[in-house]
Structure 1
Amino acid sequence: MYPDHPHNAPVQRAVEVHQPAPLPPAVAVPAPVVPVQPGTIPAVASIVLPDGRIVTGYAINPAQPEPVAVKPAVSRTAVNVALGGVGFLAVCGGLLLLTSFIAALTAFITQLIILAAVIFGGWVAAQIFSASSPQGGTTVNIRKAVIKRNHFHG
C-alpha cells in the first residue's frame, strides 16, 4: 500500500545450489545378444522440442493390448433355455402320441369285445332257433303223470 514502507522492501535471500551426486558404477551385466536381421533394424527418430532441443532415439512400438475374448452373439443362458424348450416340446409331442396310441388301443379292444359278443350271441341264437326245427333226432313225449300218496303212476 505504501511503497516506501519497510515491510514492502524486496527481501534478499541466499541461493542454494544443489549438485547432483554421481551414481555408483553399475555392475556390468552382459545383455543378451539377440540376432537381428538386417532389414529389421529400427529407424532412428529425432524430435524437436518446443524450446529448440533435439531428442534422438529409436522409435518404440507401443505395447499392444491383449486381445479381449470375443463374446458370442447369443448368451449361453439363452441357448440353454432354447434347448430346454425344444426338449420339452419333444417330450410333449411324445406324450401326445402316447396318449393317442392308448386311446386308439382302448377303442380297438372295445371293438374286439363287441365283435366277440355279437358273434357269440349269434351262435347262441342259432343254437336256440335250430333246436325247434325237426332234425331227425329222438322225440320224447312226456304225458301227464298223476302223483297220489307219494307214488308215481305213469
Structure 2
Amino acid sequence: MNEPTPYYHPTGHQVAAVEVHRPTPLTPAHTAPLMHVQPGAMAAVTSIVLPDGRVVTGYAMEPAKPEPVAVKPAVSRTAVNIALGGVGFLAVCGGLLMLTAFITALTALITQLITLVAVIFGGWIAVQVFSASGHSGGNTFNIRKAVFKRNHFNG
C-alpha cells in the first residue's frame, strides 16, 4: 500500500537516480585451429539465395534416417514362457503321480513280504511243536491192564 508508484511518492521518500549499464562486447580469445581433412571426407558447401537477396552458405546435411524397427516375433515371449511353464508343471505332476504309484506298489510289496515271512515262520513253529517224529523227551509208559482202587494205581 505504501509502495511508490510512478504517479505517487509518499512524503519522506526520495526517488533514486537510475543508472544504465551498457554491456561491452566480448572479443573471441582464440580461434579453433584448422585441421587437415581428406578431400572426399568433407561435404560440399552449399549457398542459398534468399528472396530478400541475402546469401546463406553452409554444409549440405543428409536427412535423418529413422532407425529400423525391430521385427516382433509372431508369438510374444510372455506367451511362450507361460506355455513352457505349463508343460513343466504337467511334467512335474506326471512325475508326482508316478512317484505316488511307486510308493503304493512298494508298500504293497513290503506288506506281502511280511505276511509271507509270518506264514512261513508260523508254519515252522507249528511243525516243531506238533511233530511226533522228533526227539522224545521224558518216560514212556505202556499201560495194559491197570486197576485203580481208591486213587491208588496198581500196575
Tell me the TM-score normalized by structure 2: 0.51
Aligned to 2:113: 112
Aligned to 2:70: 70
Query: Measured at CA, do residues 101 and 136 of structure 1 come closer, stay the same or move farther in structure 2, by a change above 3 Å?
Result: closer
Amino acid at match of 1:62: P
Match of 1:40, SS state, is coil
Query: Measured at CA, do residues 42 and 68 of structure 1 come closer, stay the same or move farther in structure 2, by a change above 3 Å?
Result: closer
Q: Which has the higher helix share?
A: 1
User: 1:3-14 residue pairs with structure 2 within 5 A?
Assistant: none
Whole-Å separation in 1 of the counterparts to 2:65 and 2:32: 24
Asked whether 1:102 is paired with 2:76, we answer no
Cα deviation, 1:119-138, whole Å, max 9, x if unaligned, reads 1232134224423xx55624
Whole-Å separation in 2 of the counterparts to 1:32 and 1:90: 72
Aligned to 1:52: none
Cα deviation, 1:54-87, whole Å, max 9, x if unaligned, reads x98643111234x367365243422331332233
Root-mean-square deviation (Å) = 4.5
Query: Measured at CA, do residues 31 and 80 of structure 1 come closer, stay the same or move farther in structure 2, by a change above 3 Å?
Result: same
User: 1:33-52 residue pairs with structure 2 within 5 A?
Assistant: 33=34, 35-44=36-45
How many equivalent residue pairs?
A: 125
Amino acid at match of 1:75: S
Query: Measured at CA, do residues 64 and 110 of structure 1 come closer, stay the same or move farther in structure 2, by a change above 3 Å?
Result: same
Amino acid at match of 1:119: I
Aligned to 1:82: 83
Whole-Å separation in 2 of the counterparts to 1:139 and 1:33: 140
Amino acid at match of 2:70: V
Aligned to 2:22: none
Tell me the TM-score normalized by structure 1: 0.52
Match of 2:64, SS state, is coil
Structure 1 portions without partners, runs of 5+: 1-24, 50-54
Q: CA deviation at 1:47?
A: 8.0
Whole-Å separation in 1 of the counterparts to 2:93 and 2:34: 71
Whole-Å separation in 1 of the counterparts to 2:64 and 2:27: 29
